[in-house]
Amino acid sequence: GDDRVQYYRYKGIPLPSHLVPEDMDAIQDFAVRDDDVFIVTYPKSGTAWLQRIVSLLRFGGDVSKTDLKEQDKLVPYFEQKCGDSATFRELPEAPSPRLLKSHLNFSHAPVQLAQGKGKVIYVARNPKDLAVSYYHFHFMVTTLKNPTSWEQFLQDFINGEVSRGAWHDHVLGWWEQKDSPNVLFLRYEDLQKNTRKQVGKVAEFLQWPVTPEVIDKVVEQSKFQKMATNPATNKVEGKEAKAGIFDSSKGTFLRKGIVGDWKSHFSDEQSQWFDTFYQEKLGPTGLQFDFE
């Protein structure tokens, strides 16, 4: 994290400065194809895990096809500008099916997604583990501000004063779309509990034919330990490391990959006000999470 970094607000939501307003405006009019697959998340919800699962499914679990180059090239970051132009500007030339990752709020996403074009896999994670993961992430990412303390970070997180704004706005914006035929809403904790079942759901949603053997391979190759030791997925020397965005001396991208790590960070008091705050936001919506 670099203390000089500032966010700016685009339509009310704090965004990193590489997401310039001109690009954000253009994104709304992006021409979606019916076979586009968007993996959408609030940061630290299991994006890379889904990128791995979807790319393995795409190639029938064949790692010789998925691991030739880093995963972020197979499933590029839709809105990111890491160089001269944002990824989405290059996509009209890309062959189908385009597999994409994005952290866009529903209100910032291409309008055609809301009109039923393309497919969205949204992944949500319980906000306690997510906050812990995001906290650590801020130290290794040079374009995010170093938190001054855990307590301060937690306040900023709850207040939506972090990149991508309030977690509950992001999650609830997409939760409202969960019954659209082109949206699949998944939870990180369900993936942990029964990876096989969730992988099957993803394949079915994408209407990609798979055999039980393929599912086995996908489950095996998307395990945390496999991803953590695989240069194609661990991001140690990937594009973002090369661009100076990730500093691997300050942390690891595949950090712990568990449910319940929040217990090693939250005090009882923090846990209580956090629960109260999110109960108020989520209670009426029916969206629930497992915290262990």
What are the residues binding ligand A3P (CB under 6 A)? 41, 43-49, 129, 133, 136, 222-224, 227, 254-257, 261
Strand 8-10 relative to strand 13-15, pairing: antiparallel
Nearer to ligand A3P, 54 or 254 (CB): 254
Nearer to ligand A3P, 98 or 164 (CB): 164
Examine the residue annotation and report whether 138 is marked as an active-site residue of this protein.
no
- Smallest separation (angstroms) from ligand A3P to the CB of 59: 17
Q: Tell me how far apart the alpha carbons of residues 227 and 290 are, in angstroms, rounded to a whole number.
A: 24
**CB of 223: closest distance to ligand A3P in angstroms?**
6
Pick the catalytic residue from 18, 103, 168, 265: 103
**Total length of the chain:** 292
Position of minimal CB gap to ligand A3P: 257
Closest approach of Cβ 156 to ligand A3P, in Å? Answer: 18
Q: Which C-beta is closer to ligand A3P: that of 27 or that of 130?
A: 130
Let me know: does 115 contact 55? Beta carbons within 8 Å.
Answer: no
Q: What is the DSSP string of the chain?
A: --TT---EEETTEEE-TTS-HHHHHHHHT----TT-EEEEESTTSSHHHHHHHHHHHHTTT-HHHHSSS-HHHHS-BTT--SSSS-GGGGGGGSPSSPEEEE---GGGS-HHHHTT-SEEEEEE--HHHHHHHHHHHHHHBTTSPPPS-HHHHHHHHHTT-STT--HHHHHHHHHTTTTSTTEEEEEHHHHHH-HHHHHHHHHHHHT----HHHHHHHHHHTSHHHHHT-TTTS-SSSHHHHTTSB-TTS--SS----S-GGGGT--HHHHHHHHHHHHHHHGGGT------
- How many CA atoms, within 13 angstroms, populate the side-chain half-sphere of residue 276? 6
The residue among 9 and 223 lying less far from ligand A3P, judged by its C-beta, is 223
**Smallest distance, ligand A3P to C-beta of residue 31, A:** 26
**Smallest gap from residue 47 Cβ to ligand A3P (A):** 3
Q: Which is nearer to ligand A3P, 103 or 145 (CB)?
A: 103
Question: Would you say 123 or 158 has its CB closer to ligand A3P?
Answer: 123
Catalytic machinery residues: 103
